[in-house]
Structure 1
Amino acid sequence: MTENPTGHHRPTRPPSRRWLPPWALIAAGTLAGGLLGGAYGVLKPPQYTATSYVVAVPTAQSDPASALGFAQAYGRVATQIAVLGDAQVWAGVPVNTLKDSVQTATSPDAPMVAVSATSTRADLAADMANAVARSLTQHANADKAQTHVGLIQFSRAVKPTAPSSASPVVTGLVGASAGGLLGGLALLVRPRRPREEDTGRPASVPGPAVAADAHGRL
Structure 2
Amino acid sequence: MRAMRRPDAAGPRRAAGAAWRRMPAWAPLLLGATLGLVCGTWHAALAEREFAADGYVQVTAADGDAIGVAQAYGRMATGGAVLSAAAEGAGVAAGRLADRVRAATSPDAPVIEITGTGPNGAAAARAANAVAGALVDLAGPGTRLTQVLPAAPPATPTAPVPPLSIALGVCAGAVVGGAASLVRRGETARAVPGSDAPLCTAVDLDDL
Same fold at TM > 0.5: yes
Secondary structure, in 3 states, of the residue corresponding to 1:163? Answer: coil
Give the alignment partner of residue 194 of structure 2, picking from 195, 198, 201.
Answer: 198
Q: TM-score, normalised by structure 1?
A: 0.72
State the Cα distance separating 1:191 from its structure 2 match. Answer: 5.5
Is residue 141 of structure 2 the alignment partner of residue 159 of structure 1?
no
Aligned to 2:130: 131
Identity %: 35
1:1-218 paired onto structure 2 within 5 Å: 17=18, 18-59=21-62, 62-63=63-64, 66-139=65-138, 141=139, 143=140, 145=141, 148-188=142-182, 192=186, 193-194=188-189, 198-199=194-195
Secondary structure, in 3 states, of the residue corresponding to 2:48? Answer: coil
State the Cα distance separating 1:78 from its structure 2 match. Answer: 1.1
Asked whether the equivalents of residues 48 and 160 of structure 2 are also in contact (C-alpha less than 8 Å), the reply is: no
1:172, 1:55 → 2: CA distance?
40
1:12-59 Cα deviation digits (max 9, x unpaired): xxx995243332222122111111111111112322111110112122
Unaligned runs of at least 5 residues, structure 2: 1-14, 198-208
1:109, 1:21 → 2: CA distance?
60
1:124, 1:151 → 2: CA distance?
23
Asked whether the equivalents of residues 47 and 160 of structure 2 are also in contact (C-alpha less than 8 Å), the reply is: no
Secondary structure, in 3 states, of the residue corresponding to 2:99? Answer: helix
State the Cα distance separating 1:84 from its structure 2 match. Answer: 0.3
Aligned-CA RMSD value:
2.5
Asked whether the equivalents of residues 47 and 118 of structure 1 are also in contact (C-alpha less than 8 Å), the reply is: yes
- How many residues align? The count is 178
State the Cα distance separating 1:169 from its structure 2 match. Answer: 4.2
2:184, 2:135 → 1: CA distance?
57
Unaligned runs of at least 5 residues, structure 1: 1-14, 202-218
Secondary structure, in 3 states, of the residue corresponding to 1:127? Answer: helix
Code of the residue aligned with 1:47 in structure 2: it is: E
Higher alpha-carbon deviation: 108-117 or 184-193: 184-193
Q: TM-score, normalised by structure 2?
A: 0.75
2:46, 2:133 → 1: CA distance?
34
